[in-house]
Structure 1
């Protein structure tokens, strides 16, 4: 599966992941088990797709 070019900037991937993780934490606070599971799955998928899969460009090293 190809990576969507809108997510190429690292800040966008971090923002979307943070929003998903925040929603998951809110559901933990509220206590709704169904939405806890759903938001956990979305957050886990975002972490895998954005940071672990390796489909997005790595930022250039500023030292070089």
Structure 2
């Protein structure tokens, strides 16, 4: 889940679907009486929402040339 710049994740619907699956999974675990697995799936959904919906594309890649200041 750490490579949020992967080409598979470019379409918004895929990122939303991944996060939604985690939250649905958490709900099913809670309804099934497994609160531990529900919390794990809920944490995965929260982390996915943070990475794929909030932070996606917000960080700019590092400048390969380094500092752009004039080095005279």
What interval of TM-score do these two structures reach, taking the shorter chain for normalisation? Answer: 0.7 to 0.9
Instruction: Tell me how large the CA RMSD over aligned residues is.
Output: 1.7
What are the residue-to-residue correspondences of 1:1-64 with 2, within 5 Å? 2=3, 3-55=5-57
Moved runs in structure 1, 4+ residues, more than 6 A? none
How many residues end up aligned between the 2 structures? Answer: 56
TM-score under structure 1 length normalisation: 0.74
TM-score under structure 2 length normalisation: 0.67
Q: Which runs of no fewer than 5 residues in structure 2 stay unpaired? A: 59-72
Q: Which structure: greater helix fraction?
A: 1
Please identify the structure whose Cα radius of gyration is greater.
2
- Mapped contact 2:16–2:53 kept (Cα < 8 A): no
